[in-house]
Chains A and B, each alone.
Chain A
Amino acid sequence: MTRRLQCADAEALLFDYSRDELSPLKHLEVEEHLRACQACQDLAAHMKAMIDQAGKAQASDWSDLAPDPLFARIQRALTQSSPVEDEEVALEAMFNAARNAKAQSWGGFDEDALFVRISRDIEEKKEEPEQISTRRPRVWAMLAAAAGVVLMGAWGVYHFDALGADSETHFEALRADSETHFAPISQVEERVPTDQEPINEPTFEDAQREEVASLELPPLEAMPSLHDSLNIYASKNALYEVYEKNSAPRVALEEGTVLVEYLPQAPQQFALEANGYTIMVTGTIFYVIQSTTSMEIGVYEGAVNVLTPEGETFELRAGEATWRGEQRRLEDEHYRSLEAYVDIVAHRRALEPEQVPKTEPVSIPVSAKPRTPASRELRQEALDARHRGEYAEATRLLEQALEATPAEDMASADILLELASIHLRNRDDWKSASMYLERFLERWPDDVAAQAITNQLCLKSAVDKAEHPLCN
């Protein structure tokens, strides 16, 4: 005789049921419940599918890693003979040294100590503004060999604002690095700003306006790239250069609009480096906005891996953007402007129908947004302030946004998380972060984020050897 199970009882047995680990009687009880309960049936199927998917996932499901560049990195780590070209490479070499030492005597304490020292060095580097300001502010794109590109082409759409008075110096440094030059240097020299010209330091809003304005593309002309896998369309005011390094083509862009159509004939990967960041790409559509004060990377389709000047890596996927290393969702207008670009490129290229890459519909993520206009504006201003590094101002604006948002509105949950994030990540103040997280937990104790937030609180308070009431 089987017992009629309630949902809560059945849920506790769903995993065991899906793995066929229950006794025959229990199995029957769960089966009967599932027959009558669609919600539990869906949950069971979902759990099983999710776990099975993870077990059967292919390498490409886990990572977009490109075999050739990765092997090159491994080789460098093994030989430790890579020339140190700049501080980013030096950091990479330091990491490799730590990794290599670890490989030679796996599990020893010396390697850990070495890594701790390297981490400390990097942390100190982060805290030194002089180091950041001396980083070469060059903007260049690198195309290198990689494998497994499915798309016929990958488009990098780059918008770069005016660089200001010192762009000539940057460009000279950049040219000095290159091995061959194909670029219209005359245009470059004509466009170098003079000392009298005002230095344009665009804000985040300027950049966004520029992005939206990009719906009306400036006239782009096909330019000689002298490379089979590369087609370049450039605006008249574009400052760019194409050259080769290690047999791989590179695009260096300082100003203007350049559309790069990349048609890998062999398995290749495209990478772009900008302001110390390295963006590794495999068959994707993304954009970079670079100015003297800030940089934004956004991904329209596919995914990119970004190596920061600090040697950290993170992945940006379709629908995500980053501003000074902080990840966020792409706004609708970004999608629209990028779609416009893609459309324009498709027409301009006049590809054969079967060659036109299919642009899969992108589901635009909908996050909770403040319903009141004032609150929404405040939140946007706060995000801008955070992007500018003005964390106290961002906190003040978010506090105002919180007050302007109805308590029951889920947007206030997001605002509390943002406030906590600023205090944890930017202000190193876990106690203030804790205050916001506690408010979050009070209001939404059953939220899916609650447990993770509590874990984080406990982690942070443990570092300070403090006892938090939420941590047992």
Chain B
Amino acid sequence: MTNFLDKQKELVQAAAGGDIGAFRRIYDHYLHQVTCTVGRYLGPGPELEDVVQEAFVALYGSLSSVSDYDTFGGWVYRVSRNIALSHLRKSSRSIDFVALKTLRDPSNQWENLTTREALRALYLAMECLSDDHREALIMYEIEGMTLQEIADLTEASINTVASRVRRGREQLIKIVKQTRSTATESGELA
């Protein structure tokens, strides 16, 4: 079987020229990566598929600008991250009352949740943070970026970023602790 990476340059060039079959190969190879990147910023939710779609449309539209084919994977990551970040910033955050009840529900101990449920609970808890704190926390804790990388990307000082991460951590701990204590009081937690 031919390694995708061996043919990557050829496929990118063909896709940039309008070959939809070549673009499909690129899509198949990077769908997992793009979904994970978008997911880490936005959390699991119905809008995720739309943003993944938007990322691929953006990737397709910019393929002709790719010149360094060896770092194509990194370029895909950056484009999808920028799109996810843009959605994170502009999304009108509105309380999901139903999801809120899930979080408040003592029967939903986080330990017993499936991965998807745990992710939903985590991102719902992060909804309670301010935009800056949430963004910094996602980048630092979940994306694994360094403070310097975040500072460069967000055009904030490294101290500001560090402070946002710290405040985000404190608030998230409080929310998680609160959820756990609610469960304990209700006798639901072992």
Contact = CB atoms under 8 A, between A and B. Distances in A.
Nearest to A73: B53
A421 to B, nearest CB: 4
Interface string B90-114: 0011110110111111111011100
Most chain A CB neighbours (cut-off 10 Å) among B92, B97, B111, B128: B97
B70 interface: no
B111 to A, nearest CB: 7
30 contacts: A11-B177, A15-B173, A50-B176, A57-B36, A57-B39, A58-B36, A59-B32, A59-B35, A62-B35, A62-B43, A70-B49, A74-B56, A100-B61, A102-B57, A103-B54, A103-B58, A106-B82, A305-B46, A312-B46, A313-B47, A315-B44, A315-B46, A327-B98, A365-B107, A417-B97, A417-B101, A448-B125, A449-B100, A451-B128, A453-B95
B53 A77 contact: yes
Given A12-B170, A65-B52, A77 B57 contact: yes
Interface residues of A, number: 70
B interface, how many residues as a size bin? 35 or more
A303 B115 CA distance: 13
Interface of A: 11-12, 14-16, 42-43, 46-47, 50-51, 53-55, 57-59, 61-63, 65, 67, 70-71, 73-75, 77-78, 95, 99-100, 102-104, 106-107, 303, 305-306, 312-315, 317, 320, 327-329, 363, 365-367, 413-414, 417-418, 420-421, 424, 446-449, 451-453, 455-456, 459
Contact of B36 (A47, A59, A99, A413): A59
Interface in B165-185: 169-173, 175-180, 182
Contact of A448 (B62, B82, B169, B179): B179
Contacts of B106: 366
B176 A365 contact: no
A455 B93 contact: yes
Contacts of A421: 97
Interface string B125-152: 1011000000000000111100000000
Interface in B57-94: 57-58, 60-62, 82, 86, 92-94
Contacts of A61: 39, 44, 115-116, 119
A74 B27 contact: yes
B180 A67 contact: no
Nearest to A316: B46
A14 B182 CA distance: 20
Interface of B: 20, 24, 27-28, 31-32, 35-36, 38-40, 43-50, 52-54, 56-58, 60-62, 82, 86, 92-95, 97-98, 100-108, 110-112, 115-119, 122, 125, 127-128, 141-144, 169-173, 175-180, 182
B117 to A, nearest CB: 8
Most chain B CB neighbours (cut-off 10 Å) among A47, A320, A328, A447: A47
A59 B97 CA distance: 26
B34 to A, nearest CB: 8
Contacts of B177: 11, 43
The 9 closest A-B pairs by CB, nearest first: A62-B39, A59-B35, A103-B61, A15-B169, A313-B46, A103-B57, A103-B58, A451-B128, A327-B98
Contacts of B100: 417, 449, 452
Given A57-B115, A317-B116, A11 B35 contact: no
A306 B54 CA distance: 19
Contact of B101 (A63, A314, A367): A367
B128 A455 contact: yes
Nearest to B56: A74
Contacts of B57: 74, 77-78, 99-100, 102-103
A43 B180 contact: yes
B48 A63 contact: yes
Given A12-B170, A103-B57, A305 B49 contact: yes
A130 B120 CA distance: 37
Given A57-B36, A62-B119, 8 more contacts: A11-B173, A47-B173, A47-B176, A65-B49, A70-B31, A74-B53, A315-B44, A455-B127
A103 B54 CA distance: 7
A187 B44 CA distance: 44
Contacts of A70: 31, 49, 52-53
B31 A67 contact: yes
A462 B176 CA distance: 28
Nearest to A98: B54
Contacts of A54: 40, 119, 122, 141-142
B105 A365 contact: yes
Given A61-B39, A365-B105, A78 B60 contact: yes
Contacts of A363: 107, 112
A71 B58 contact: no
Most chain B CB neighbours (cut-off 10 Å) among A99, A102, A448: A448
A58 B116 CA distance: 10
A470 to B, nearest CB: 14
Given A417-B101, A421-B97, A452-B127, A67 B28 contact: yes
A21 to B, nearest CB: 10
A107 B89 CA distance: 13
Most chain A CB neighbours (cut-off 10 Å) among B50, B62, B127: B50
Contacts of A320: 98
Given A77-B53, A100-B57, A451-B175, A59 B107 contact: no
Nearest to B47: A313
B48 A65 contact: yes
A330 to B, nearest CB: 12
Most chain A CB neighbours (cut-off 10 Å) among B57, B118, B125: B57
Contacts of B127: 452, 455
A194 B35 CA distance: 52
A125 B88 CA distance: 26
